[in-house]
């Protein structure tokens, strides 16, 4: 490629870091300012530019533009400032980016696979920008965070997720592929929006939708048989059936169901250690009964069984409530997965459930802002010394409670993890970081584990092993006040360790070739890409 083309390729462009000799050899003389910078100097200049934007959405747009210009510089900047930039690259700011996708769209990234193209999906996949792909993240945009149907705007989620696969997990950016399945939208505001960039059609449903998903999976298996396929932000009626239909056919998992559950289990393991109790003895109330909530219940239940309970005994440790109240056996609207946790009696509201069940753990995946009221929290705190409360709904505008309120209502006794970032709590004169139960603790590690170990499937054993490793990485302690998850700044190192443990579980489960721990550790190290210009 000539100099102009080289500067337009974000994977090869070094901008002002091209040396004088390289500029002469590559036809770049005159196309760049004369000063030659190091990557470190470029990153410092980019960071100052980042700080020049006051609004998070403007910072998000700046980072996306940098990613489309110079990926090495983008990832160096993000990894150097991960704690500060994670909320901008991903939740909560990515939610606003999705709602404004058609207005802030700048440059193509990933693949938009539309329903009208259903007869030539292999051809569409062949148009991907890079031949070799390790990880695909796909969404149909129907349930974006707690914001609902965003149609084509849902592409912001795969782009953001894969950015973290690289920044945290070390998957090479050229080996990732964001995909948006455009099957229409039922968001009337988007359909009426004069600049909406998606297919202007109500959502395809029923057998037509299922057939389109089947055709997409068949195309992936034919074109990219070795890639890990992650499903993201699919609506509850689709999420679990899709996972069940394909999990034994290819390398695949659903981050909302399985990734969320693994991170919650990791945080809960740390919390239980701090209380001095055992997981098997916890009484868990879940607010929300969607695919993510049931996935959390399933994984905690599995861990309780590993701690000595029968499956039936473990299931009786859960009380799950949705907008219609407690899941009970007399309800006719429950899925088989929900019915596993159905209780006897009437469908009581959450406040009554908390008062009657005297839970030790309260988890929110409801997307209802302020659902955990002062009365509910005080009732819970009256029945346990160290209430464990996880308001996990994203973005912040949909969180069930503010951690500062939880601390006030429990006299500082709460053990808390949230879905979105919050400032530290002041507890007994100490500043304690609020653990963000962010899936980024797990999904980049799973991609790294599958790639390094050459796993052919993602098993429950791999996910439980990842959750256990995450809990241990938090530096499990019996200290009365401590964060429940490792610092975000340590995520890259944590991801590598979690990946090794998950890879070992893949070998144990028979879905990866035989390998030693030392061999897997070396494979993980070699798989991780570092944001640096090659010599």
Catalytic residues: 90, 161
CA 145 to chain centre: 10
Cα-flanking dihedrals φ and ψ of residue 351, to 5°? -60, -40
Cα-flanking dihedrals φ and ψ of residue 357, to 5°? -85, -15
Residues 204 and 112 sit within 8 Å (Cβ to Cβ): no
Write the DSSP symbol of residue 457. S
CA nearest neighbour of 157 among 96, 115, 104: 96
Q: Which residues contact 24 (CB under 8 A, 6 or more apart)?
A: none
The secondary structure element, H or E, covering residue 426 is strand 425-427
Query: Rounded CA gap, 500 and 452, in Å?
Result: 9
Neighbours of 312 (CB within 10 A): 9
Query: Rounded CA gap, 477 and 497, in Å?
Result: 19
Query: Rounded CA gap, 477 and 459, in Å?
Result: 29
Query: Rounded CA gap, 43 and 230, in Å?
Result: 31
Query: Rounded CA gap, 344 and 174, in Å?
Result: 53
Q: Which residues contact 214 (CB under 8 A, 6 or more apart)?
A: none
Helix locations, 392-516, DSSP H: 403-409, 443-453, 460-473, 491-508
DSSP code per residue over 32-91: S-S----HHHHHHHHHHHHHT--SHHHHHHHHHHHHHH-HHHHHHHHHHTHHHHHHHHST
| Beta strands 325-326 and 318-322, pairing class | antiparallel
Q: Which residues contact 476 (CB under 8 A, 6 or more apart)?
A: 269, 270, 273, 274
SS3 361: strand
């Amino acid at each position: 490629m000539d100099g102009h083309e080289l500067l337009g390729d974000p994977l090869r462009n070094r901008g002002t870091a091209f040396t004088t000799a390289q500029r002469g050899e590559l036809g770049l003389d005159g196309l760049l300012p004369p000063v030659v910078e190091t990557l470190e100097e470029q990153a410092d200049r980019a960071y100052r530019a980042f700080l020049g934007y006051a609004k998070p959405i403007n910072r998000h747009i700046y980072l996306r533009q940098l990613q489309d210009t110079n990926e090495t510089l983008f990832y160096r900047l993000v990894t150097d400032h991960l704690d500060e930039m994670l909320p901008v690259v991903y939740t909560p700011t990515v939610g606003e980016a999705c709602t404004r996708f058609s207005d802030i769209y700048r440059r193509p990234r990933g693949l938009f696979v539309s329903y009208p193209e259903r007869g030539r999906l292999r051809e569409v996949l062949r148009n991907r920008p890079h031949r070799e792909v390790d990880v695909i993240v796909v969404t149909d945009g129907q349930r974006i965070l707690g914001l609902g149907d965003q149609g084509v705007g849902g592409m912001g989620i795969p782009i953001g997720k894969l950015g973290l696969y690289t920044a945290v997990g070390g998957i090479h950016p050229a080996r990732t592929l964001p995909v948006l399945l455009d099957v229409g939208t039922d968001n009337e505001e988007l359909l009426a929006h004069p600049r909406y960039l998606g297919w202007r059609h109500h959502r395809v449903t029923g057998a037509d939708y299922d057939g389109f998903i089947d055709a997409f999976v068949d195309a992936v298996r034919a074109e990219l048989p070795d890639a890990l396929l992650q499903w993201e932000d699919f609506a509850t009626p689709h999420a679990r059936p899709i996972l069940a239909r394909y999990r034994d056919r290819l390398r695949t998992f659903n981050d909302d169901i399985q990734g969320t559950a693994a991170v919650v289990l990791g945080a809960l393991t740390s919390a239980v250690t701090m209380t001095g109790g055992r997981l098997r003895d916890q009484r868990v109330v879940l607010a929300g009964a969607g695919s993510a909530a049931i996935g959390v219940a399933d994984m905690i239940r599995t861990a309780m069984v590993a701690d000595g309970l029968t499956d039936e005994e473990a299931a009786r440790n859960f009380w799950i409530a949705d907008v219609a109240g407690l899941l009970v056996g007399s309800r006719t609207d429950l899925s088989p997965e929900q019915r596993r946790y159905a209780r006897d009696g009437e469908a009581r509201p959450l406040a009554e459930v908390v008062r009657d069940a005297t839970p030790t753990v309260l988890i929110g995946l409801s997307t209802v802002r302020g659902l955990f009221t002062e009365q509910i929290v005080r009732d819970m705190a009256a029945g346990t010394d160290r209430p464990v409360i996880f308001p996990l709904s994203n973005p912040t505008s949909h969180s069930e409670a503010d951690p500062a309120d939880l601390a006030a209502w429990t006299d500082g006794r709460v053990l808390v993890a949230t879905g979105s970032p919050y400032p530290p709590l002041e507890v007994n004169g100490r500043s304690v970081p609020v653990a963000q139960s962010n899936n980024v603790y797990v999904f980049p590690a799973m991609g790294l584990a599958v790639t390094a170990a050459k796993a052919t499937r993602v098993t429950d054993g791999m996910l439980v092993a990842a959750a256990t490793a995450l809990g241990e990485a938090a530096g499990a302690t019996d200290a009365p006040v401590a964060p429940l998850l490792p610092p975000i700044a340590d995520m890259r190192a944590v991801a590598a360790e979690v990946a090794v443990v998950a890879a070992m579980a893949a070998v144990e489960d028979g879905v990866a070739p035989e390998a030693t721990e030392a061999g897997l550790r070396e494979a993980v190290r070699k798989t991780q890409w570092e944001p640096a210009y090659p010599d």
